[in-house]
Amino acid sequence: MSKKETKSKRGYPLPNPNLPRNFGKLLVFNVLDDNELAFALGKMGIYLVSTVPIKTMSQKAEGAKAKQMIANIRYDDNSMVEYFMKTSGIQSKRIFKYAGFTNLVRTRALFYASALNLLNLCEGKIIRIKSKHRDLRDEFYKIALEVKKESKLNVEFDYDAYDVELEINRYKTPKKVYIILTTTGLSEVVKDLEQKQSVET
C-alpha cells in the first residue's frame, strides 16, 4: 500500500484494517518487560498498543522497576480478554476509568462520571466498592448514592454478596498520582445487557 493510501487528506494515519477493532485497558502487575506482555497477549489474539509503567515513590527509592503498568490493548472479542486474565498466569484487571493528577488530586469529577456510567450499566445489580484507601472508598460510595438518588436507578451496594466489584487503586509516583478504577464481573453484566437489548429490538 502506498503512503498516499495510508493517510487521510489531512495527513492523519488511517485506521489499520488488520488490527482488532475494540479498545481496552488493563492494569497489569509484575510484568517487567513489554515484550513478555505483548507475547502473552498475542497468543490470545490481543494486540498490545502501548504501556504506561507506574513506578511508585517507594519503588523509585529502592531503584526497582515499576511493578504495575497500564496496558492499552486492542481485541476483537471480549472473551479473548477474559480468557487471558483467567489463564495467562499474568495478574491483571480491567480498567474502568483512570486519571493521573500532577498537582492537586480532584477526584469528584472522576468519581461522579464513573459512578454514573457504572450504575447505569448495573441496573438491577449489586455492586461492591473495594479499596485499601478508606477515604477513596467512602468518597466514591457517597457520590454513588448521590447518583442513584438523582437518576432513580435500581442498584444496591453490598460487600459480601455482589454481581460487580469496583476496586479503587491509588499510586503515588514522583510526577503524578494515579487513581485507577478496576472492575470484576462487569463484562458479564454488559454482555447480558447487550443480549437483552438485541432481543428487544
pLDDT value at 186 more than 60: yes
Contact 38, 157 (CB under 8 A): no
Domain that holds residue 77: 1-90
Query: Looking at the structure, do residues 131 and 168 belong to the same domain, yes or no?
Result: yes
79 and 120 assigned to the same domain: no
CATH of the domain at 140: 3.30.2300
Residues 15 and 52 in one domain: yes
Per-residue pLDDT of 101-138, as tens digits, reads 987 788 999 999 999 999 999 999 999 999 999 999 99
Phi, psi (degrees; rounded to nearest 5) at 170: -130, 125
pLDDT band at 23 (very low <50, low <70, confident <90, very high): very high
| Co-location of 171 and 125 in the same domain | yes
The strand pairing partners of 52, in sequence order, are: 70
Query: Looking at the chain, how many residues does it have?
Result: 201
Q: What is the pTM of this model?
A: 0.85
Q: Indicate if 132 and 51 belong to the same structural domain.
A: no
The residue among 90, 123, 143 that closes a domain is 90
Instruction: Please check whether residues 102 and 189 belong to one and the same domain.
Output: yes
pLDDT on residue 39: 94
Number of folded domains that form the chain: 2
Domain stop point among 90, 120, 152 = 90
Task: Pick the range with the lowest mean pLDDT from 14-23, 31-40, 52-61, 185-194.
Answer: 14-23
Strand order in 47-54's β-sheet?
47-54, 68-75, 22-29, 92-101, 177-184, 164-172, 126-131, 156-157
Residue 157: burial class (beta carbons within 10 Å; 0-12, 13-18, 19+): middle
Beta bridge partners of 70: 27, 52
Average pLDDT over residues 7-13: 53
For the chain, the average pLDDT equals 89
